[in-house]
């Protein structure tokens, strides 16, 4: 199995746990505050790993373009997390999480348009089935 696939599966497992842990953690707490606490934990965790692995030595070599895209990605992540925590506060985790995963077709479409990544019929069908599955959770 490709090494990227192991990381993708770990990401999926962690994201699944995140939905439940966040739903439990957001009870009785303003959703924006809950997101801020989560973000602080991620900040400390990520910087700890970057320092621990010595990857911070690459900071001086980051280009303005790289920093701009990473900043934009950070803003998009912030918007996503704020909206996700509010949705979890208002709705059922079993409904919010599948709808949140509609990010999949958006990512595939953006990858095709902006990164010129190929979209095979198998990928298109798989994405369509995942969209249908997400939408079926609404009813």
In which residue ranges of the chain is pLDDT below 50?
A: none
| Predicted pLDDT at 1 | 73
Contact 32, 81 (CB under 8 A): no
Contact 22, 38 (CB under 8 A): yes
Distance CA 42, CA 51 (A): 14
Quick: pLDDT tens for 46-86: 999 999 999 999 999 999 999 999 999 999 999 999 999 99
Burial class (CB in 10 A: 0-12, 13-18, 19+), 50: middle
| Predicted pLDDT at 139 | 75
């Amino acid at each position: 199995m490709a090494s990227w696939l192991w990381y993708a599966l770990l990401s999926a497992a962690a994201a699944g746990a995140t939905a439940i842990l966040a739903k439990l953690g957001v009870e009785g707490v303003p959703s924006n505050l809950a997101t801020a606490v989560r973000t602080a934990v991620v900040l400390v965790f990520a910087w700890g790993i970057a320092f621990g692995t010595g990857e911070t030595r690459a900071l001086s070599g980051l280009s303005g373009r790289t920093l701009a895209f990473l900043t934009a990605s950070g803003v998009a992540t912030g918007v996503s997390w704020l909206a996700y925590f509010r949705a979890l506060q208002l709705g059922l985790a079993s409904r919010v999480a599948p709808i949140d995963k509609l990010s999949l077709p958006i990512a595939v479409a953006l990858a095709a348009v902006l990164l010129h990544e190929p979209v095979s019929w198998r990928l298109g069908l798989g994405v369509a089935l995942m969209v249908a599955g997400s939408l079926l959770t609404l009813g």
